A and B are shown apart, each in its own frame.
Chain A
Amino acid sequence: MQQSKRWAWLKSWEALMFIILCAVVVANLRLSEHYLDLNNLANIFHLSIEKSLVVLIMAFVIINGEIDLSVASVMGLSATVLAERYDAGWPIAAGFVLALFVGVVCGLLNGLFAAYMGIPSLIVTLAGSIGYRGVARILLEDRSVGDFPSWFTSLGQDGIIGPFHITIFVFIALFILGFVILQYSVFGRYVYAIGNNRAAAEYAGINAKQVKVTIFMASGLIAALAGAFYAARLGNVRANAAEGFELDIITIVLLGGVSIFGGTGTMIGVGLSLLVVLNLRNGMSLSNVDGNTQTSVIGLLLILSVLVPNLIQILQRLVPRLFTAISRILNKGGATEPKSQVSVHQ
């Protein structure tokens, strides 16, 4: 019993992700001599930093039992607002603040419709993803805005510690913050409770609507921040910025062990899954694997990571059954029944 407890974590999703991560790292080491280049290590994070940031908040959204398909459009819109204001002569910092504000407003709208009007967040944020992108189009039309001040672009393009960009440290800080909030704070408790059983949470005096709106607003805020980072990294903004990011983001969160029905998953799992996906993509890029194959491989990984543990469980259940049946046939109603040690039902 003591024994089983100590090793129980091995059966967890986090352990599985960790094992996969190790495998990916080993494979990368063998496949490319450049994998360990400091530049490459920085690139692993740097090239997907915007997605990574949004993954953090998307974990909250999904654990809370909702979904936000509009994040990519909010990223695009905030980058656009920032650029458009800059183009109109505002200092970039002011544009940045406005961009964050716009992100929060988008999140607020999502939250109001989803939580207070009771419209499924899937539709709300789908409409949002079309609409917010549309607003970005209205603002910039077919223009592109660039030539940002160098301090701003250097945030996204130059390392501060070696090749590591400041955005990476922002990510780490937010990850720790997200981890603590989700896993250890009262708010985190509410997020899980609402995601699992909204009615019970409401009976317990939790204002589920308020929590949901807060999370959607945070989602808008983080997406807006990511949008600004995107602008800094690329040094130039068009209305189509960050198009199509949402699916990748959701994939990573789900691979992190978060249930789409809400209520389960941990920040560690999501963090590990992020590392898995980023390293896998990096390794494949270094091996010149094309985009389609990369996506397919991640799709396959997504399926296998759930399938394999489940298959083991199913086999664990079937094998004794088969064994019983065989022994029963052999000694015709035989007296010796094998006992299976493991409980498989949950």
Chain B
Amino acid sequence: MHRIRRWVPLQRLREFSLVIILIIVVLIFGNQIDNYYTPRTFNRISSTVALITLVAVGQTMVVLTRNVDLSVGSIVGFTAYYVGRYVSKNEDMAPLMLAVLAMGIGAGMGLINGLLVAYGRIPAIVVTLGTMAIYRGVLVEYSDSKSVATRQLPDWIKELPQESILKFGEYELRALPAIALVAVIVFFFLLLYTSLGRRLYAIGSSPEAANLAGIRAPRMVTLAFTMCGAMAGLGGMLYLARFGTITVDAARGMELQVVAAVVVGGVNILGGSGTVIGAMLGAILIGTIEQSLIRMNINEFWKDALLGLCIIIAVTVDRILINQLTPWWSRTELQRMPEEPHAAV
């Protein structure tokens, strides 16, 4: 036990607990739904979750620094639209270049958020509530209320969602989940093994201490927002690939799904702790519940209530699991005053 504790830090516990809950959830639904354990279910859920995961990874960067980006839905919508328009006029654009363009636009919007938050010293929620409306407004103006239609898009982008990268029998790893997975891995290492990542944690953990320690918080925060924007931009391109038809309402409300995934995944909304793996697990958990409820043969009007109930049960079980497991894990935890960070926004 000592060994494990030594090499598996406490933070992993959150992920462990989420995996357990995920397994429970899958078992329960498997029991309720015919043909649940099929490759199809897997492919469905993985494709659906991919988009949220990707944006949630970026959001994690921001939330770690004790900020939040509520404009991601609008950024996804805007880039989806813009990239769609752009590619319909420049059909021979290379896929990679298009991705770069999407990330660039997203990063630009994220940069604006970041500058306002870090150098304008405005609370992130205020800035991004504002830019959420503004970016959407810009999209409405820009689009002139026309939508991007599937037929305007080059084939490769339309076919991207059905592209399969890896196949194990009928289980496929499709392009969208693969991209999300790559993002998760990249940012996992970025956060764990680079000093940049550690400083993001430091800033969120204690902004005052970061200031005293000589960490350039404004730069880091701006960077975090920019990365978040870039991920949302990439998300926009994938959104375009997935839905083809893009209206000005594209991805409206996505920010709440993303924030929910991040927070359910154990990223502290007050900053300083959490991992992208957790955020991904959060997205998978909510996505699985949502998708499975769709499959379940119950009255349409009961589904929302059940979804809310499932989420609250899942997070409660998670909390209880963590409380039970923590003493096992950590020697020092027992020595501490039981002063958990209280949760706010």
Bound pair (A, B): yes
Write the residues of chain A forming the contact surface with B, with a CB cutoff of 8 angstroms: 62, 65-67, 69, 113-114, 117-124, 126-135, 137-138, 141-142, 198-199, 208, 239, 247, 250-251, 254-255, 259-262, 292-293, 295-296, 298-303, 306-307, 310-311, 314
CB nearest neighbor in A for B264: A123
Q: Which of B255-282 contact A (CB under 8 A)?
A: 256, 259-260, 263-264, 269-270
Contact, CB under 8 Å: A130 / B304: yes
Q: Which residues of A contact B303 (CB under 8 A)?
A: 134
Of B12-20, B116-124, B170-178, which binds chain A? B116-124
A255→B312 CA distance, assembly (Å): 30
A300→B120 CA distance, assembly (Å): 14
Closest chain-A Cβ to B269's Cβ sits at a distance in Å of: 6
Contact of A306 among B120, B138, B307, B316 (CB under 8 A): B120
Closest chain-A Cβ to B62's Cβ sits at a distance in Å of: 14
Asked, given contacts A134-B304, A296-B133, A299-B132, whether A62 binds B345 with beta carbons under 8 Å apart, the answer is yes
Contact, CB under 8 Å: B344 / A134: no
Contact, CB under 8 Å: A67 / B345: yes
Contact, CB under 8 Å: A306 / B123: yes
Contact, CB under 8 Å: B301 / A251: no
Contact, CB under 8 Å: A310 / B121: yes
Q: Kindly state whether residue B309 has any CB partner on chain A within 8 Å.
A: yes
Q: Which residues of B contact A120 (CB under 8 A)?
A: 263, 269, 343-345
Q: Which of B312-345 contact A (CB under 8 A)?
A: 312, 315-316, 319, 339-340, 342-345
Contact, CB under 8 Å: B345 / A134: no
Contact, CB under 8 Å: B312 / A66: no
Kindly state the interface size class of chain B when it binds its partner: 35 or more
Q: Kindly state whether residue B39 has any CB partner on chain A within 8 Å.
A: no
Contact with A along B237-270 (1 / 0, CB 8 A): 0000000000000000000100110011000011
Looking at B123, B131, B304, B319, the one whose CB has the most chain A CB atoms below 10 A away is: B304
Q: Kindly state whether residue B311 has any CB partner on chain A within 8 Å.
A: yes
Q: Which residues of B contact A208 (CB under 8 A)?
A: 342
CB nearest neighbor in A for B314: A127
Q: Kindly state whether residue B137 has any CB partner on chain A within 8 Å.
A: yes
A250→B70 CA distance, assembly (Å): 13
Q: Which residues of B contact A295 (CB under 8 A)?
A: 133, 136-137
Contact, CB under 8 Å: A300 / B312: no
Q: Kindly state whether residue B30 has any CB partner on chain A within 8 Å.
A: no
A310→B264 CA distance, assembly (Å): 34
Q: List 26 A-B contacts (CB under 8 A).
A: A66-B344, A67-B344, A67-B345, A113-B312, A114-B343, A122-B345, A123-B260, A123-B311, A128-B308, A130-B307, A133-B308, A134-B304, A137-B304, A137-B305, A138-B301, A198-B342, A250-B129, A254-B129, A295-B136, A296-B137, A299-B132, A299-B133, A303-B131, A306-B123, A310-B120, A310-B122
A199→B133 CA distance, assembly (Å): 36
Q: Kindly state whether residue B306 has any CB partner on chain A within 8 Å.
A: yes
Looking at A119, A262, A293, the one whose CB has the most chain B CB atoms below 10 A away is: A119
A259→B123 CA distance, assembly (Å): 8
Q: Which residues of B contact A142 (CB under 8 A)?
A: 301
Contact of B260 among A126, A259, A301, A310 (CB under 8 A): A126
Contact, CB under 8 Å: A134 / B122: no
Contact, CB under 8 Å: A254 / B305: no
Contact, CB under 8 Å: A293 / B269: no
Contact with A along B103-127 (1 / 0, CB 8 A): 0000000000000100111110111
Q: Which residues of A contact B133 (CB under 8 A)?
A: 295-296, 298-300
Asked, given contacts A119-B315, A119-B316, A130-B308, whether A251 binds B345 with beta carbons under 8 Å apart, the answer is no
Q: Which residues of A contact B95 (CB under 8 A)?
A: none
Q: Kindly state whether residue B140 has any CB partner on chain A within 8 Å.
A: yes
> 20 other contacts beyond A120-B343, A296-B136, with CB at 8 A cut-off?
A65-B345, A120-B269, A123-B311, A124-B312, A124-B315, A126-B260, A127-B309, A127-B312, A130-B311, A131-B311, A141-B301, A199-B342, A261-B123, A261-B345, A293-B137, A296-B133, A299-B130, A299-B131, A299-B133, A307-B116
Contact of A127 among B120, B270, B308, B340 (CB under 8 A): B308
Contact with A along B288-306 (1 / 0, CB 8 A): 0000000000010111111
